[in-house]
Amino acid sequence: MIRKWQFILVIMAAGACSGRAAVIYWNGNTAASTSVLGMDAAGIASAVFTDPAVNQSGSSAATLVGDSSSSSGYANASGGDNFEAKAKPAAFSTGTSTYFQVTLTPAAGYAITLDSVTLASRSTSTGPTKITLYSSVDDYSAAIGTVSGLTTTGSNPSWAMIGPPLSGSLTGASDTSIIFRIYGSDGSGNNPSSANWRIDDISFTVTLVETVPESAMWGAISGTGLLALCGRRFWRQCAGGKN
């Protein structure tokens, strides 16, 4: 049976590495995040999309930020600018499919875990019907989330908010950036002459774990142990010498 002072020690040690959530948000105006909100937003040093998107179709890539076809039709749509790309209308391939890329960099002494991603997406007739997420944690070797069956109706399609379930390699190392790729694929038709894929109102919910140097951790545990032993002695005295 775990004695009371041992239980106190475990709780204190666990508390030294607790994580707290933050939501990183882009409204499509700039590559850098629009806001970082949460209990420990200071744990994020930066969160930035890459400009331009990689592996676009045609001879000239679309710039990251566009002001056409503003987002609408879902709760809290920001409208205005969005992120755009000329996605290749072809089956998914990590080597050739078009993707947006975002780099999350923790503040010193933190590690990042991705908890969820939501984003609004809009595809024209040649645009992606499938979105797939990968991360640098495993060098983009396994998908961490997928949404299929996106609508690509006509020249003026609707925006849709999506949130693929996540699994797999989602936690980065301490003091190490994580790069996420948002692939768009499985469109059909000829290569587009203008942007056929737009995303907006992107939110990454993350847990920020404050990593503690080993020496500091063991110092904290030693100090906690002494406090626990003192408390145990006092408790025994009050209980008439029993424990």
| Binding span for Ca ion by CB under 5 A among 106-114, 130-138, 174-182, 192-200 | 192-200
Cβ-contact 111, 209 below 8 angstroms = yes
What is the spatial distance between Cα 209 and Cα 207, in angstroms, rounded to a whole number? 6
> Minimal CA–CA distance to 41: which of 52, 29, 49, 33?
33
Residue 27, interface with Ca ion (CB under 5 A)?
yes
Residue 73, interface with Ca ion (CB under 5 A)?
no
Q: Which residue's CB is nearer to Ca ion, number 34 or number 94?
A: 34
Q: CB under 8 Å to 164, separation ≥6 — which residues?
A: 117, 131, 133, 145, 146, 147
| Binding span for Ca ion by CB under 5 A among 13-21, 124-132, 147-155, 193-201 | 193-201
The structure tokens 């737009």 sit at: 198
Indicate which single residue of 19, 28, 164, 187 sits in contact with Ca ion (rule: CB under 5 A). 28
Q: Which residue's CB is nearer to Ca ion, number 78 or number 205?
A: 78
Residue 80, interface with Ca ion (CB under 5 A)?
yes
What is the spatial distance between Cα 126 and Cα 195, in angstroms, rounded to a whole number? 10
Residue 200, interface with Ca ion (CB under 5 A)?
yes
Count of residues that bind Ca ion according to CB under 5 A: 6
Report the half-sphere exposure of 193 (CA within 13 A, side-chain side).
0
Indicate which single residue of 33, 55, 57, 78 sits in contact with Ca ion (rule: CB under 5 A). 78
Q: Least distance in Å: CB of 70 to Ca ion?
A: 7
Q: Which residues bind Ca ion (CB under 5 A)?
A: 27-28, 78, 80, 82, 200
